Structure 1
């Protein structure tokens, strides 16, 4: 899942981006409103975390521009501006959540999970396909209650396929979701991740199928004896 963090406080931006990347999210960081508007228009994000007091362009104007472009990314406003009038204005302009600084990190992470779950159209944090269960709260996979040992990049790919189950996920969408600025993820690397996931999932009633020339999708199978 890909997140845009818009924050002009460098120390806070570095701290939050480290936490988010440690949780497996692809994170891009910009420090002013004009850059945020341009990047949000050019790139696809699942979530935008948006400060309001920004150089060059106020965060509410960034939000207004996003929604005018029919950008459907979830938006969490994260700001020191916390009067009831400002909160109402932000939500009316299209924000999905509003947090006031200072804030609790555990609550911040929990709200992110809720927003990403809503983006995927899910009510529960538990998703099951075949014999494999994804817990979105912990971002872990298990089968019959036993955790599956899956490397971080493959976890991110499998989570994306789970959240879009029933649909083919294009290679371009995979690259956009799993990488941030400056990251490189080749088609060959994606194929290697998919191949390894197939081997890991083969005993658990699930596989990753290829839609030739398009991308990949989940399919349930009969587990190998």
Structure 2
């Protein structure tokens, strides 16, 4: 049976973001009983060299052959350990998604990939230093309007890539989607551009933002 990874990033009303955050934040912080034991080690490993390791052999060039190394699977496991589904987190996510816009646009982005987690592809594409500038834990966050405005400079620094760095990030995203999933024709540019678009829109509108990754 095939699985599809999804990442949803959408604006929600500020008052609702603050209310839901009180129920959610302790569920995703390491050391508070809401994560697996290995998760607290993930950021350190990723920042202290993991983000610079070659996760794949081959290229998405003419040969099209990309093979994951064991470290790629290790990173994928860390991404999955960032959030352990529980009834509590599922309830907050479901309520958040009912508050988001109904259609994809300035205030909503939905990324899907067959057999791959879009968040893992983005974080690998950006590398350790830039991905550390994004809010939350590996693509899972719930921000009030004040927190959105505070996070925006870091998000811009992470996602507004100069030409050569953007090309490298797009290539790495394609490698992940090809080797770890089954989506070689993924819209890698949208995975970089759309989250920034949503967060900028929320900052201008005084809204909160929620983001969650899921498997279907």
Higher fraction of helix: 2
Q: What is the TM-score normalised by the length of structure 2?
A: 0.27
Higher fraction of strand: 1
